[in-house]
Structure 1
Amino acid sequence: MPFRLNGPPYVIDNPQMPGLAVELVSRAFATQGYTLQLTIKPWNRALKEAQYGRDQIVLAAWYSEQRTQNLAFSKPYLFSDIHLFARRGYPAHYTSLNDFKGQRIGLVQNYAYDSSLMTHPELTLLPAETLLINLRKLQNGRIDLLAGERRVALWTMHANHIEPGSLIPLEPELSRTPVHIMVGKNNPKAGLYLDVFEKGMEAIRDNGEYAAIMTKYESYSTP
């Protein structure tokens, strides 16, 4: 299970601020004369419907070889960065995971983390039900670090009035994963949609819309 790229700030149930992925993909298609109708669905349902040929596009997905049996992917249009977060005052850079021996690291149950983190023999990994629970635990000193998707974590902090800069992402990132749109191979329009999207993404990069949308959402996602 990936981090919630089907949640804020990637997809938001708010017409005025519909989400980073929603705006980028919608504007890319709009430059080619297409208007998307957004429906927010649970991840597993959206995935199954796309696999079985519903005429729909999954806006933000991670690539996997297993998914290519039924699904076709665009080129990446974003990157999703997983970071360790710490309280303010913690050294902002690290060399390797060995720097964190004996540290208590909060995880979210059933999320996909880099194997180097999950299999490290000298880290104490403590799962919780939600990212917000881990953010509160980190604030209160009940864990030393948490692992989270950078934009999602910083947006969650903003939405829950956690002081900006009180919890910081450490560098370098634990992992960087490309984000794609995804279409079912059984969809007869799959090739058309991917071609239109690539042309539209090139157009919004050239006309400055891509950079403007990124700036709009990064302003809410800075430590």
Structure 2
Amino acid sequence: MNGLRVYLLSLALLLPLNGNAAELLRLVADPWPPFSDQTLPNNGVASDLVTTALTRAGYTTSYVQVPWERAVRGLQQDTYDVLIDAWYTDERATFGNYSQPYLVNRIRLLQRKGSKIKFSQLPDLYPYSIAVVRGYAYSSAFDQDSRLSKVGVVSFEVAARMLQARRVQLTLEDELVARFHLNRSLAGIRDQLEFLPQPLSENGLHILVSRKYPQHQQVVDAFNTAIEAMRADGSYEQIFQRHGL
């Protein structure tokens, strides 16, 4: 009996104090390079940051990539535990617990080169059709303004090709994401498109932890703490450098 007690005590001493090591978090994201994409090192820079932070917090993780709307639905239905790259909306906050933002997305509008569209406030956009990715949040004011003529599409690549083909007059995306595609899959039309000077918004990027996960607040707190530690010790910046950003 004493031998069993010694064994159990020894086993307990091997376990991390936060007790998270045995907990698998099911991570999900949509293809959104350079932030999340299975074809990129460590599934993209956002995935790399999130996975590193959660690992440092003592969790194990798995990663699945699905279309955006399926990712959000899967979080609601308890198929996944953590959506790794979400902008804040009140609606999502009802079924998910947001972390502090771990990076910032700069959202910019694109037009056909030479279109001479001027933008300084939302009413300036009312005369134009705008391709938007279905299910994405761009900014609260933009998302809620019913006077904007929005055309739903499945991806920025589709939106950019519609813009080039004159089927819409504007589209928008995070600047790094747009440049990633314009330098690769959209290189053939890159010189026909241009950014408007003023960004639409700057949005914080968060993890969104399903409220169906019993320790969702614990995950959020541990993630926030780990990200701050990574900023302090330089590993946060090293991940960006590793991805060429």
TM-score (norm 2): 0.67
Give the 3-state SS of the residue equivalent to 2:228 in structure 1: helix
Show CA shifts across 1:117-174 (max 9, x none).
Answer: 7525xxx766655432332344466655322332332222223151667633323211
* 1:166-223 deviation per Cα after TM superposition (whole angstroms, max 9, x unaligned): 633323211222221111223222122112211110111112222233345464xxxx
RMSD of Structure 2 on Structure 1 (CA): 3.4
Task: Answer 1 or 2: higher relative contact order, Cα 8 Å, separation at least 6.
Answer: 1
Aligned partners of 2:208 and 2:156: how far apart in 1? 26
Match in the other structure for 1:169: 195
C-alpha deviations, 1:32-65, integer Å up to 9, x for none? 3433221223434433443344572211122222
Q: Which residue of 2 aligns with 1:46?
A: 71
SS in 1 for 2:63: coil
Q: Secondary structure at the match of 1:79?
A: strand
Matches within 5 A, 1:141-220: 144-162=169-187, 167-217=193-243, 219=245
* Alpha-carbon distance between aligned partners in 2 of 1:186 and 1:39, rounded to the nearest angstrom: 18
Does the 8 Å CA contact 1:205/1:211 hold for their aligned counterparts? yes
User: Relative to structure 2, which stretch is displaced further, 125-134 or 21-30?
Assistant: 125-134
Unaligned runs of 5+ in 1: none
Runs of 4+ that moved beyond 6 A = 89-93
Identical positions, percent:
26
Tell me the equivalent position of 2:157: 132
The aligned amino acid for 1:201 is I
> In 1, Cα distance between the equivalents of 2:95 and 2:170?
37
Distance 2:98 2:75 in 1: 12
Which shows bigger deviation, 160-169 or 187-196? 160-169
Deviation of residue 100 (structure 1)?
6.2
Deviation at 1:23, TM superposition (A): 0.6
Counterpart CA distance in 2 for 1:150 and 1:202 is 25
Query: Is 19-28 or 181-190 further displaced after alignment?
Result: 181-190
Query: In the superposition, relative to structure 1, how do residues 198 and 99 fare at CA in structure 2: closer, same or farther (>3 Å)?
Result: closer
- Asked if 1:8 corresponds to 2:19, the answer is no
How many angstroms apart in 2 are the aligned matches of 1:143 and 1:41? 26
Closer/same/farther in 2, CA of residues 71 and 215 from structure 1, 3 Å limit: same
Contact 1:92/1:171 (CA < 8 Å) preserved in 2? no
CA contact (8 A) 1:54 1:187 kept: no
- Structure 2 unmatched runs, 5+: 1-28
Q: Is the 8 A contact 2:68 2:135 kept in 1?
A: no
Aligned residues: 212
Distance 1:61 1:115, change over 3 A: closer
